[in-house]
Amino acid sequence: MTNKIILELKNICKNYSTKNETLEIVKNLDLKIEEGDFISILGQSGSGKTTLLNLIGLLDSPTSGEIYIDGENISVNSSNIDLIRNKTIGFVFQFHYLLPEFTALENVMIPALTQNFSKKNEIEKKALKLLQDVGVDERAHHKPTELSGGEKQRVAIARALINDPKILLLDEPTGNLDNETSEKIFNIFKQINKKNRQTIITVTHSRELSDISNKKLFLKKGILSEQ
């Protein structure tokens, strides 16, 4: 049985124009990702990994080419792109970006509350369950400053999952963590991918993280390849 294609990039180019030159960061990139895939993207610093992830995550628009998510051609210029992104994509970055004035639980709830405030009780239950899944439910009522680095990143993972994203995007998600903590976080991703068949795309320097993915892609000079 073949899985459905959850993400397709067709002939994507991304250029940055500076005063003197045009930098071609992503060149004629085609990519198909199936539902439930766990893809890692490797490449040297400056090779365009974050640029590519920002395109997939609908944070930035390609210079040319098309992005299909679950069969739908998505334009970053459409007026409701924030809503589409919020419903479709979960992000975990190297830095957690938790809101300091809110508790862990509230941070997880916020992306869902902004869409559906009337379902606050349901959202709270779901957020608690997610915090439990990532092993930090005992810290639900702590503020980010009262959490360790690993705990903060766990909360950020729970937050990324609150709207059941079609694609979970990770940009160096353990870049700020020690090896032991990173390993625990890797196991969380492995579980989410296995148990929930969550599609994951991660950019990473970590061999351990890329080793648990089911496909490694290498970005070199704007071109994505399997070696």
Ligand X SMILES: Nc1ncnc2c1ncn2[C@@H]1O[C@H](COP(=O)(O)OP(=O)(O)O)[C@@H](O)[C@H]1O
Work out how close the CB of 222 gets to ligand X at its nearest, in angstroms, rounded to a whole number.
Answer: 9
Q: Residue 114 corresponds to which amino acid?
A: T
Q: Which stretch binds Mg ion (CB under 5 A): 46-54, 58-66, 120-128, 188-196?
A: 46-54
* Window of 23-31, 43-51, 188-196, 214-222 that interacts with Mg ion by CB under 5 A: 43-51
Shortest CB 212 distance to ligand X, Å: 21
Which of 73, 68, 69, 65 is closest to 11 using CA atoms? 65
Q: CB of 26 within 8 A of CB of 52?
A: yes
Q: Rounded distance, CA 66 to CA 116, Å?
A: 30
- Give how far Cα 138 sits from Cα of 35, 45, 151, 171, 187, Å: 32, 37, 10, 26, 19
> What is the footprint of ligand X within residues 112-151 (CB under 6 A)?
none
Of 49 and 139, nearer to Mg ion (C-beta) is 49
- Total length of the chain: 227
Which 3 state secondary structure label does DSSP give 48?
A: coil
Please report whether residue 23 would count as binding ligand X according to CB under 6 A.
Answer: yes
In the complex, minimum distance from the CB of residue 49 to Mg ion, in angstroms, rounded to a whole number: 5
Q: In this structure, how many other beta carbons lie within 10 angstroms of the beta carbon of residue 216? A: 15
Tokens of 138: 């005992």
Binding flag, residue 57, ligand X (CB under 6 A): no
Q: How many residues bind ligand X (CB under 6 A)?
A: 12
Told to check if 153 binds ligand X by CB under 6 A, we report: no
Collect all residues with Cβ–Cβ distance below 8 Å to 164 and sequence separation of at least 6: none
- Beta carbons of 186 and 153 less than 8 angstroms apart: no
Among 39, 49, 131, 150, binds ligand X (CB under 6 A): 49
Rounded to a whole number of angstroms, the minimum distance from the CB of residue 42 to ligand X is 10
Member of 40, 47, 50, 103 binding Mg ion (CB under 5 A): 50
Contacts to Mg ion from residues 112-171, by CB under 5 A: none
- Out of 6, 9, 40, 50, the residue judged to bind ligand X by CB under 6 A: 50
d(CA 108, CA 157): 9
What is the contact surface with Mg ion in residues (CB under 5 A)? 49-50
What is the contact surface with ligand X in residues (CB under 6 A)? 16, 18, 23, 25, 43, 45-51
